[in-house]
Structure 1
Amino acid sequence: MSDDAALIDRFLEMMAAERGAARNTLLAYRADLNGAGALLGGLSTATRAQLGELASAWAGLAATSVARKASAVRAFYAFLEEEGLRADNPSAALPRPVTQRSLPKILSTAEVDSLFALIAGRLDVAHPARLDLRLSALIELLYGSGLRASELVSLPRRALASDRPFLILKGKGGRDRLVPISDRARAAVAAWLAHVPGDSAWLFPSGKSYLSRIRLYQLVKALAAAAGIAPERVSPHVLRHAFATHLLEGGADLRALQSMLGHADIGTTQIYTHVDSRRLVELVNKRHPLATTSASHTHRSVDDAPSAP
């Protein structure tokens, strides 16, 4: 159980820094994880068979309570796997009661524009401050590539090659994925690199290691407040959500988005399809082979025609 306590502390630190979890949420997570650990005689070393027994232990609870507890435990094991603290993830054995899935927090494109406008204003001087150059690189990569906070802060110093507009990252479960990097982000990183010590192993160094997730969380909150956006609405993970949401609104393919985000299950990516139902209706009306055209509609170009199967 002592191992559980230390690992739960590390997990909750990540939830605060990367997901922007509120204090009450963190307290609920801790209670749910401690409760599950007490039922199992230890959480971090529990087997898949042991986790399967939680369904009967939680049988008398409301579906929403079971879903919340299972979600906490599932997130904990995903964290252990991602951090290399456990080789397997037994959470598939957890119950999955049918409940309405919560939608991700998102920012509008205008709100994201206001963040970048503020950064641009700070950089539009003869000698931009070193920390403003770092902030520019961080936000460009967060929103422009949908990186997880943990992936961003731990990027090696030479992660971005000048002749390669993408990163190859090892994400959850040890899976490699290709992440496109925009020209804007590459330019921002190049400007920041001039201020990174030559002997640093990290792109965003801090002390003897790299920038912490908590510090990144604080920087994003401060930027939001300065841009006139309620800080509680913004976190590194919210910018990742914004990346996915705005790409999908712009016509991105769901499978491509799944690959860029590093989701093992496309069902996870499908949460973003709520973003703009009007766009989906328009997509069907314009691109379906049976869609009718009339003089009142704009003629479609060759590029707009449905692609061959």
Structure 2
Amino acid sequence: MLHVLLENFLYFLVVEKGLAENTLSNYQFDLKSFFAFLASKSVSEIGTVTRHHIIAYLVSLRGQGKSPATLARHMACLKSFFHFLLREKIIDQDPTANLETPKLAKIFPRVLSVNEVTLLLNQPALGTLLGLRDKAMLELIYATGLRVSELTGLNVNHVNLDMGFLRCVGKGSKERIVPVGSFAVKALMEYLNRSRAKLVKKTKEEALFVNQHGRRLTRQGFWKILKYYAGQAGITVEITPHTLRHSIATHMLENGADLRTVQEMLGHADITTTQIYTHLTRTHLREVYDHCHPRAK
């Protein structure tokens, strides 16, 4: 019975909410974890779940060392699931009602300096097919702030190099137009003219970025590429594809961009998501002020 409810819920999220595949995978994983917990407590009917079961589940996750962010994600998933069941009249009461989401500690994203980004972007060997591809990917993701899934999901016809923009589909299947800077345009042209046609094995392949077998590059594939070049550049801290996204937002704000512009470019549904970067720029402003103002200290 529970697996049927899960399938119906996921279908609802796809059809009515338009959630991204990654989000759906997280919901599915979290709910299966919750169902396993219920089974361990001999709870087989969803209508018998109480707020005490929800609290006990969150306590068990915390006992496993899960972070506040993970607890908040599980809680958000459960709230959405039980709200769906209530709406569909499968249950009479929502056990998550009036339960607060665990508070998150303010964790500010790690960003690269402009010098670190420059070092990273200069690592690919431009004399090789894969090096040309990697240079184009790194330049493009830094130029646009795309999510890694948006980057790997690009098709050739999504990019207009003459006009200097691209079209991408982000979270919730929302489409947006993003400008592309001259460095990224040049790197993309080099990749398209000298590399991609030789990598692609199938003439009808639509993907902009392909692997050595000529098929669409995966998110995991890009992650490995990024880690390799970060090591080559001597960047010792752990970085992820999202680090570049954080970095472009911070660098733009430091150079005078307004929040609304950055929000639109990154595809944030809520400007409060973008506002986290204002803390980073204020920190930068404080450092510059302390270093440069004659009466700062």
Q: What is the TM-score with the length of structure 2 in the denominator?
A: 0.66
**Residue 233 (structure 1) aligned to one of 232, 238, 244:** 238
Unmatched runs of 5 consecutive residues or more in structure 1: 16-28, 42-49, 79-91, 284-295, 297-309
Superposition RMSD on alpha carbons, in Å? 4.1
Give the letter for the 2:196 counterpart: V
Cα pair 2:154 2:168 within 8 Å, conserved = no
For 1:261-272, what aligned pairs fall within 5 Å after superposition? 261-272=266-277
Superposition pairs of residues 208-287 of structure 1, within 5 angstroms? 209-230=215-236, 233-277=238-282
The 3 A distance-change label for structure 1 pair 190 and 40 is: farther
* Residue in 1 that maps onto 2:196: 196
TM-score, normalised relative to structure 1: 0.64
- Structure 1 residues 208 and 118: alpha-carbon distance in aligned structure 2, compared to 1, 3 A threshold: closer
Q: Which moved more, 1:191-200 or 1:243-252?
A: 191-200
Shift of 1:103: 1.2
Q: Which amino acid aligns with 1:105?
A: R
Task: Indicate the percent of aligned positions where both proteins have the same amino acid.
Answer: 37
In 2, Cα distance between the equivalents of 1:66 and 1:117?
37
Residue identity opposite 1:181 in structure 2: V
Within 2, Cα distance between the matches of 1:277 and 1:253? 14
Structure 1, 263-272 or 53-62: larger mean CA deviation: 53-62
Is the CA contact (8 Å cut-off) linking 1:153 and 1:213 kept in structure 2? yes
Q: In structure 2, how many angstroms separate the alpha carbons of the residues matched to 1:67 and 1:75?
A: 12
Does 249-258 or 214-223 show the bigger shift? 249-258
> Structure 1 CA distance, aligned partners of 2:155 and 2:217?
12
Q: Using a 3 Å threshold, how does the CA distance of structure 1 residues 135 and 40 change in structure 2: closer, same or farther?
A: same
Q: What are the within-5 Å matches in structure 2 for residues 47-196 of structure 1?
A: 57-58=54-55, 61=59, 68-72=70-74, 74=76, 95-119=100-124, 122-123=125-126, 128-194=127-193, 195-196=195-196
The count of aligned residue pairs is 239
Show CA shifts across 1:32-77 (max 9, x none). Answer: 6544344689xxxxxxxx9x97697227848x96653222565899
Structure 2: which 5+ runs fail to align?
11-20, 40-46, 81-95, 198-202, 289-293
Deviation at 1:199, TM superposition (A): 3.7
Aligned to 1:83: none
Determine the C-alpha separation between the residues in 2 that align with 1:240 and 1:54.
38
Contact 2:170 2:267 in 1 (8 A): yes
Q: Please state how far the C-alpha of 1:265 moved relative to its aligned partner.
A: 0.9
Q: Is the 8 A contact 1:141 1:181 kept in 2?
A: yes
- Deviation per residue, 1:149-197 (Å, 9 max, x gap): 1111121122222322112222111222221111111111111012223
Distance 2:113 2:28 in 1: 32
Distance 1:74 1:184, change over 3 A: farther
| Equivalent position SS for 1:276 | helix
Relative CO higher for 1 or 2, CA cutoff 8 Å, sep ≥ 6? Answer: 1
- The one of 20, 33, 36 equivalent to 2:34 is 36
